[in-house]
Amino acid sequence: MVLALSLRYYLYFHVGEMDASAGEDGPDDGVCLEGVNADSLGQFDDKRMDDSEALIGGTRMFQRIKFFVLSIVSILIGMKVTLKNLFSPAVTLQYPREKQPMKENFRGMVDLVPEKCVICYMCIKICPVAALDLAHKQTVEADKKKLAITKFTFNGELCCFCGLCEEICPTDAIYLNKMYEVAAFTHEEINNIDLMDKEKYKQLENNQPK
Ligand code: SF4
Ligand code: SF4
């Protein structure tokens, strides 16, 4: 009931405000409601006008509070993701000062433990891009024949990091390490890496950003 009365007085108040009499040359440029009889709308006595103004003031105050609360709620909903992440631990790293630890199954550069290699050539045969090159020689020590690697190189430009050489190796001699920052200034530095050299990736690591 109060709400209905409020709406009625609210409508009257605005209609009265917007009503403007037409001049001799036609209606004013301002807002004008033709056909509305302002006299018929202004039949309220002073007491009712006071009550209506109080109601209008209360309604307006209520609406302003409502809009304010809704605005705050709307902003909070919009900022939900921001607020959620504001107090969460950062997931970004200050690279290159901080490094991302690689997952267990990450495949980096091909590496070798020469002592474990039995020169079976299985990695050479399975490599789909011929990125590995192996050569050996036979030696005789104490009347025993032995095989020795004379060349085991890796072409980092050809390798597609499929991991097949690692999978097929019967002694786990060849594997893919966790390096992901290898950089070179010339092709020669990276397409003919000597896997027998323990320091093979040292220079390439030095080319990383500091
Ligand atoms: S990871 Fe794949 S492409 Fe690279 S050397 Fe091994 S078998 Fe060849
Ligand atoms: S598969 Fe393993 S053991 Fe065989 S040649 Fe390659 S690295 Fe050596």
**Using a 6 Å cutoff on CB, does residue 176 contact ligand 2?**
no
Other C-beta atoms within 10 Å of 180: how many? Answer: 13
107 Cα: distance to centroid of ligand 2 (angstroms): 18
* Mutation to probe ligand 1, out of 109, 157, 164, 192 (largest number of atoms < 8 A from CB): 164
198 Cα: distance to centroid of ligand 1 (angstroms): 19
Q: Please name the residues in contact with 41: beta carbons below 8 A apart, sequence gap of 6 or more.
A: 12, 15, 16, 19
Q: How far is CA 209 from CA 119, 132, 190, in A?
A: 37, 28, 17
Q: Please name the residues in contact with 129: beta carbons below 8 A apart, sequence gap of 6 or more.
A: 158, 159, 160
CATH number of 110-206: 3.30.70.3270
Note down pLDDT in tens along the chain; length 210 residues. 334 444 444 444 444 444 445 555 555 554 445 555 555 555 555 666 677 777 888 888 999 999 999 999 999 999 998 988 888 888 888 888 888 888 999 999 999 999 999 999 999 999 999 999 999 999 888 888 899 999 999 999 999 999 999 999 999 999 999 988 888 888 988 999 999 999 888 888 777 666
DSSP designation for 156: T
Ranges of each domain in the chain: 2-17+34-86, 110-206
Q: Which residues lie across from 167 on neighbouring strands? A: none
